[in-house]
Structure 1
């Protein structure tokens, strides 16, 4: 069995930036164990699999270790592959996922993702988590319905200089940690640490912005926000918040395409 595969750098204008995702279009679903094995073999933060569903597509995402409920950069990468390589021409793509219906449309520059916004609840500082991060946040916010937690710091430099102990972080909490602060030259910055799902640090995390954008929209009193994820690769997002929905606009670049050879 031969399957097409694409690798796309998402939330970036240039190759080797943003967050790389593998995208594999399928005619029908393979067994879950095989999907997970492919994702492990790819060894990227996410491998996206999509299957046609009438005029729409079903979409699933796998890290090297687990299937996840929501992924932004691999959704953007999937839309990029459909538009740039597979002849899709409609103005909007609808993906049916574990997180509900997600929509991606062409923007003036790149693509705009329409995602659900997470509800946020006040959290408390956990000293063990702070020790694993190497710095105590000024505010902790729980993300309702997702195994994520915001740790809000005062300055961009607080976030950029974090050097987490990932082994300790994995054992002290079952939540992925989103570190964030006001940005220098943008509204806010962030980093994402997820050793619980097999990703020590994710380069650019669309799903994290489903929590970040509602938080910063309320704190700053504005619905249009510019964001940077300040990982080593880095990424940029233009975001909006309204009616409980988060829109994120970003670019994508194809790095490679090829074939996967599987036994029949």
Structure 2
């Protein structure tokens, strides 16, 4: 058997067992898609990240337990956290080491070139902004969310998801959607958001993606690529702070720069080992 390095990291948190957990698999030799999907199902986390060599450098892919996705913020932060720790202990694999340049690294991905930087304040991701545009709410939406129609203030569509502004942070926190109905919507997932209710964040959100095998994601970097351009006009500034109010919870800093969003989050490695294949 070959031993494949495998890690689990809690992203968008400075404390273990909070934030969003992701698995990180370092594959010196690319593996079949079916095998990677089976590994993601075995890990049974919202996403598993697979880092492989690429003719242009390094390629990063993300899989839920049931499908591959185009973009995943928390699993990217998890990957960079692993690489930072391996670099600090001189354990960075030879096929990765040349691409780690002054705490910065680039990945090829299905969403283009992604740049990440490990800083003293956390890991900073440079992701594409996915500003939502207003759409008519689907007929089953309020029933799926189990809210009254007047609690839905705005409905939009981003590149991947529906984005809904609701009437209050309390509504967001208390939401108990019908996941079966949500899974029938023709989108990756549903972002719900409202003005914040504490001094450490501007807005609050939650993210549901049952159609992608993720009933509720603890903290979702890619969702904040839509939330940042959505909330920027309201606050009139490009630096925003979000709190994702899942049971684990997590904080995300966003710096909007044109058509890009810089997401900043901390991470904690929970375990490391080997995948036997």
Q: TM-score, normalised by structure 1?
A: 0.94
CA shift, 1:238, in A, is: 1.1
Alignment-derived partner of residue 182 in structure 1? 195
Say yes or no: does 1:111 pair with 2:92: no
Alignment-derived partner of residue 65 in structure 1? 66
What is the Cα-based RMSD across aligned positions, in Å? 1.4
CA shift, 1:91, in A, is: 2.4
Q: Is the contact between residue 13 and residue 268 of structure 2 (CA under 8 Å) also seen in structure 1?
A: yes
Q: Is the contact between residue 117 and residue 244 of structure 1 (CA under 8 Å) also seen in structure 2?
A: yes
Cα distance in structure 1, aligned partners of 2:238 and 2:257:
7
CA shift, 1:13, in A, is: 0.4
Alignment-derived partner of residue 15 in structure 1? 16
Cα distance in structure 2, aligned partners of 1:169 and 1:205:
17
Query: What are the ranges of 5 or more consecutive residues in structure 1 without an aligned counterpart?
Result: none
CA shift, 1:53, in A, is: 3.9
Alignment-derived partner of residue 209 in structure 2? 194
Q: Is the contact between residue 22 and residue 46 of structure 1 (CA under 8 Å) also seen in structure 2?
A: yes
CA shift, 1:56, in A, is: 3.7
Match of 2:164 among 151, 155, 179: 151
Match of 2:177 among 153, 157, 164: 164
Say yes or no: does 1:92 pair with 2:104: yes
Secondary structure class of the residue paired with 1:157: helix
Cα distance in structure 2, aligned partners of 1:169 and 1:4:
36
CA shift, 1:175, in A, is: 4.3
Cα distance in structure 2, aligned partners of 1:98 and 1:54:
15
CA 1:257–1:50 in 2, change beyond 3 Å: closer, same or farther?
Answer: same
Cα distance in structure 1, aligned partners of 2:188 and 2:23:
25
Secondary structure class of the residue paired with 2:221: coil
CA shift, 1:127, in A, is: 3.7
Q: Is the contact between residue 5 and residue 22 of structure 1 (CA under 8 Å) also seen in structure 2?
A: yes
Q: Is the contact between residue 116 and residue 246 of structure 1 (CA under 8 Å) also seen in structure 2?
A: yes
Secondary structure class of the residue paired with 2:113: strand
Count of matched residue pairs: 260
Q: TM-score, normalised by structure 2?
A: 0.90
Q: Is the contact between residue 61 and residue 68 of structure 1 (CA under 8 Å) also seen in structure 2?
A: yes
Q: Is the contact between residue 238 and residue 256 of structure 2 (CA under 8 Å) also seen in structure 1?
A: yes
Q: Is the contact between residue 77 and residue 252 of structure 1 (CA under 8 Å) also seen in structure 2?
A: yes
